[in-house]
A and B are shown apart, each in its own frame.
Chain A
Amino acid sequence: MKAAFDVAIVGAGPAGISAACILADAGVKTIVFERGEYPGAKNLSGAVLYGYDLARILPDFAERKCPIERNIIESRIWYLSRDSGFSVGYRDAALGTERKHNAFTVLRAKFDRWYAEQAQKKGALVVPATVVVDLLRDSRGAVTGVATGRAEGEVRARITLLADGVNSPLAVRTGFRLEPKPEQVALAVKELIDLPAAVIEQRFGVSGIDGVTAEIMGGVTGGMDGVAALYTNRNSLSLSVGANLADFAATKIKPYELIEEFKQHPMVAPLISGGKSLEYIAHWLAEGGYDAIPRLCGDGYLIAGDSAMLFNALHREGNNLAMASGRMAAETIIEALGRDDCSRKALSRYGERLAESYVLKDMKKYRRFGRFMHHHKELFNEMPRAASFAAREMLTVNGVGKKQKQKLIMQNFRGEKMSIFRLARLLWQGWRAVK
């Protein structure tokens, strides 16, 4: 096979398929390669998706029977110690009515498959079970297509879009992106817990298609810089926990033991009680932030989504950045093909589009956030312990006066090697990292 296409896309995830939809709509001859048995077979996220960016590509996604699990009307944030925890949440009826589909949960194996089908309906060719092992180049080094793992599997294309995810040996092999360092990714493991819809609705206080998310931080990652999450699906709960890979290496904590311990936490156990695990999977999160973003395009190629390290760790946003970047890549490609100019210069409009959009603006805003979290391990150790001690003391009625309790709390605070100065520095640096 030495067929020629206008555009070859590596990876049928949110970035690649978003681009394929836009390109196919414009009549651009597009082929998408997916290494999994089907689109979504290798993909993992929490998984919360955002309607805004999806609607920019498929305005009628709901009518197209998008496999939505639950529409999120409440977001909780938990700050846990090993055996206790604080919870705040925001529930808003408007998120179920006029702002419906702002955020909803999906199962990626179902969603990505459906999404790829929409691109196919528009005319893009999606080829699963095919690994792209290398890129074709001309004598000047411009990318002219892809080489697949199949016999005679070279496919020429005028432009190639790399949307092959955060773990991309291809990007590394071609030098278009450096191999991430362990501290630039988080390793997350996820389990899907089977529970009847009625049980989920009762435990989370929702009905119909409404759902709840909980983002979880503190003493549930074994002192490592990490987060956990608990999301409601229709008939299951998504449970994930992840931490910086460098921290995993340093602590020798085993990921499968970490998630098992998390499942036994008193805030989590009652919610998943009686549920059976259906799946256990693992993936990286691109946590390198703004400074880890590679050059976004060159002669004949562009990079989008996780492969370009586009991920906002603070706001659990990744799929939407993938969709937005895929869309902007496609818009740039359409212009370039129209002018018959596939050079780096012509494609650099892609980087400008991203810079003008919320994608790079948000990543720039939070560029210090990753380093802040990584260098303030007290957020995962001393702080949740001290905060829990204080709450437990204040809530225990045992004849000890409150002034005395305050003293005990301060003593404990100092025992954790915390001080007002250290706390102030934490708050100040935290503010600087997100302001």
Chain B
Amino acid sequence: MNKRFRVALLAGVGWLVALFFLLPYVEMLLTALKPERELTRSPGGYLPSHWQWSNFTDVWSAAPLLTNLRVSLIVAGGATALTLACALPAAYYAARNRFQGRGAFLLLVLVTQMFAPTALVIGVYREMVALNLTDTLEALILVNAAFNLPFCVWILHGSFSAVPKELEEAAFLDGAGRIGALFRVTLPVSLPGVVTAVVYTFITAWNEYIVALTVSVSDNRKPLTVAVPSFVTQYQEHWQYLFATSLIAIVPVVLLFALVERYLIGGLTAGSVK
């Protein structure tokens, strides 16, 4: 086959594939820009007959969106900070030292990585009732932090192990101290791993649904994922607001995700595939 034809064919297929993956989100945007009366029309139209950009401004007063957005930010940010605070020392220690129980610790991490909140939601709910933590942001932060911890420990452990010990010792000898060496040498060198852990945890917590659905009761303690579906219930249907809000939730994390895409696979497959 002619090489130029081959490349053109690949590009053609590639662009069609890209279009296929983007189309639902394009439809999301088109729906978010339609006036409400167009959404009950049957059959539906392709493009809005009137591009209602104001949907994106009106949606903020149609629901306590700012509050939900703040909840999502606090939960995802809090969970990320907590996970990192727990994972950093563990991953660093396990990467730099051999100790009894190290294998068991890493195995525990590997096994917990296989547990999803969905499988345990009844137990999580009962625990939060017992701790009197239902309908609190603390509960959501704790759950999201715990379930993302294994991934963080694993990916950080991998990045720290890849930093040559000599590099750290050089800084150590220069009088940086153990913690100083960690912050001045090891962390900067393993930055891709740290950023990946941070971004992935943030996005997973941002998108978490079932625990928030179960634990959050008050409207002002619901993250975006739980608030979004309430635009369409048996009493009201505001698909344009539903998708305007969805886009507000999706666009920033897609951009973040694109940033770390190349580092993700190694961590997600628990280091089994390089």
Partners in one complex: no
Q: What is the interface of chain B, defined by CB distance below 8 A to chain A?
A: none
Q: What is the interface of chain A, defined by CB distance below 8 A to chain B?
A: none
